[in-house]
Amino acid sequence: MAQIDDFKANLIGGGARANQFRITVTPPPGIAIGLDVRRTSFLVKAAAIPSIEMAFIPVPFRGRNVFYPGDRPDPGDWSTTFYNDTDFMIRNAMENWSNGINDFANNTGLTNPADFQTDLQVEQLDRDDTILKTYILRNCFPTTIAEIGLDMSSNDAIEEFAVTWKYTHLEASGVNF
């Protein structure tokens, strides 16, 4: 029968902690959005390590399906939640980014993806900020900047808002680089 000491010996480093992470949002090269990368990393409240999926091709054979690996489906959306500070630095940057892609008033914007897409980095950290694993989300851009709820009864809360991102693929340390 397994003992608690066996479990502890096999849980390397005491386990990865969900609250030990860093997100790095690099501004796109073609839009001056006014984003302070270091401050932004501190003001990310929540994010996730993206899921990784593989499609399969079912091939019928004598009444049963045999499954073969297919293409990878689109990676879907990725979300971050930010704290909003009083200078609205991140919110303004996201709005500038969105406006650069498609202007709020004129319905014009950048057409070259290299100008409005950038790479985002997700790092899982240990308790002394050593990087355990890195994911790079390639060719990201914001698709949704969520509302900020305003409420007279919220006198002890900091504003938050979510940003939903599109990306083409990801690379994971220990796998791709």
Residue ranges per domain, the chain? 15-49+66-172
Q: What is the full per-residue pLDDT of the chain (177 aa) written as tens digits?
A: 678 888 888 888 888 899 999 999 999 999 999 999 999 999 999 999 999 888 999 999 999 999 999 988 889 899 999 999 999 999 999 999 999 999 999 999 999 999 999 999 999 999 999 999 999 999 999 999 999 999 999 889 999 999 999 999 999 998 876
Fold observed for domain 15-49+66-172:
Pnp Oxidase; Chain A (2.30.110)
User: Do 123 and 134 form a contact (C-beta atoms < 8 A)?
Assistant: yes
Integer angstrom CA distances of residue 148 from 60, 81, 84, 108, 153: 50, 11, 9, 26, 14
Q: What is the DSSP string of 67-124?
A: EEE-PPPP--EEEEEEE--TT-HHHHHHHHHHHHHS-TTT------HHHH-EEEEEEE
User: Do 42 and 127 form a contact (C-beta atoms < 8 A)?
Assistant: no
* CA–CA separation, 47 and 163 (whole Å): 10
**pTM as predicted:** 0.88
Residue 5, SS3 per DSSP: helix
* DSSP 8-state secondary structure symbol assigned to residue 14: G
Task: For strands 131-145 and 169-172, give the pairing.
Answer: antiparallel
Which H/E stretch holds residue 22?
A: strand 21-25
